[in-house]
């Protein structure tokens, strides 16, 4: 079970992601620096959270045009599972791998707290470990998590069951349209989400609700490989 984590200047959740992937797979992920033009052959690529390039221009905008993201787009086109968390989600949107944009939080405040997520599609390769409609806990920590897309895009996401997670029970922390917390691409192999599942995978974290995303993604790759 091989994984890779993309490294960009200004990310700060890369260590947490590396620790989570190491715990779950039993093996440290490979790391890929922003200037790399190819990715190693892995079962899951993760773009972690932080503030790549200081959020200059727009969150994720500069990172999305870095050489490594071209390589991530090529891997995604070949069907490799790609997970973007927080800044990673912003980068995937800016890179055009996912539709929509993440804008400044509606209350203009950085939010760092736990939210509840409803698993609105438990059939994606990132969510099979959960039950349809299950409510899970997950921390968020961001300033630009206010998901926006035009009506046609939203309808497409809705009609094709591409909204994987929604903020549940009035916990929407950022004003995201339709409470959207995480979406997949049309092929279903690229997931972007604002909350941080890597921070809720061990009992010492206070819960293990985030594990299912990694276990789903890696379990799916395993069965594809076999």
Partner 1 sequence: MIKARIIVTLKTGVLDPQGKAIEAALGNLGIDGVGQVRQGKVFDVELAGEDAASAKTKLDAMCGQLLANTVIENYAVEIDHG
Q: Write out the catalytic residue numbers.
A: 86, 196, 198
Give CA–CA dist 196/190, Å, rounded.
Answer: 16
Give CA–CA dist 107/115, Å, rounded.
Answer: 16
Site map 23..62 versus partner 1, x via CB under 8 A:
----------------------------------xx--x-
CB 201 within 8 A of CB 208: yes
**Is 106 one of the binding residues for partner 1 (CB under 8 A)?**
yes
- Least separation, in Å, of the C-beta of 19 and partner 1? 32
**Is 73 one of the binding residues for partner 1 (CB under 8 A)?**
no
Please say which residue, 146 or 199, places its beta carbon nearer to partner 1: 146
Q: Which of residues 116-135 bind partner 1 (CB under 8 A)?
A: none
Residue from 36, 94, 209, 215 that binds partner 1 (CB under 8 A)? 94
Residue from 70, 104, 143, 205 that binds partner 1 (CB under 8 A)? 104
- Least separation, in Å, of the C-beta of 122 and partner 1? 28
Question: What residue ranges bind partner 1 (CB under 8 A)?
Answer: 57-58, 61, 65, 93-94, 99-101, 103-108, 146, 148-150, 175
């Amino acid at each position: 079970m091989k994984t890779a984590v993309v490294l960009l200047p200004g990310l700060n959740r890369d260590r947490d992601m590396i620790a989570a992937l190491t715990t779950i797979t039993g093996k440290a992920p490979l790391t890929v620096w922003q200037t790399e033009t190819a990715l190693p052959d892995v079962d899951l690529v993760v773009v972690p959270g932080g503030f790549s390039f200081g959020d200059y221009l727009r969150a994720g905008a500069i990172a999305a045009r870095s050489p490594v993201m071209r390589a991530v787009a090529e891997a995604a086109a070949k069907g490799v599972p790609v997970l973007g968390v927080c800044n990673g989600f912003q980068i995937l949107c800016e890179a055009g791998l996912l539709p929509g944009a993440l804008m400044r939080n509606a209350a203009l405040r950085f939010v760092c707290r736990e939210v509840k997520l409803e698993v609105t599609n438990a059939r994606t390769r990132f969510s099979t470990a959960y039950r349809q409609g299950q409510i899970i806990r997950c921390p968020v920590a961001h300033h630009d998590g206010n998901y926006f897309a035009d009506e046609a895009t939203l309808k497409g996401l809705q009609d094709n069951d591409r909204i994987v997670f929604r903020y549940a029970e009035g916990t929407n922390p950022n004003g995201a349209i339709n409470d959207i917390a995480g979406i997949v691409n049309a092929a279903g192999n690229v997931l972007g989400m604002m909350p941080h599942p890597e921070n809720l995978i061990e009992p010492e974290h206070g819960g293990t609700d985030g594990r299912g995303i990694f276990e789903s993604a890696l379990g799916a790759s395993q069965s594809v490989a076999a």
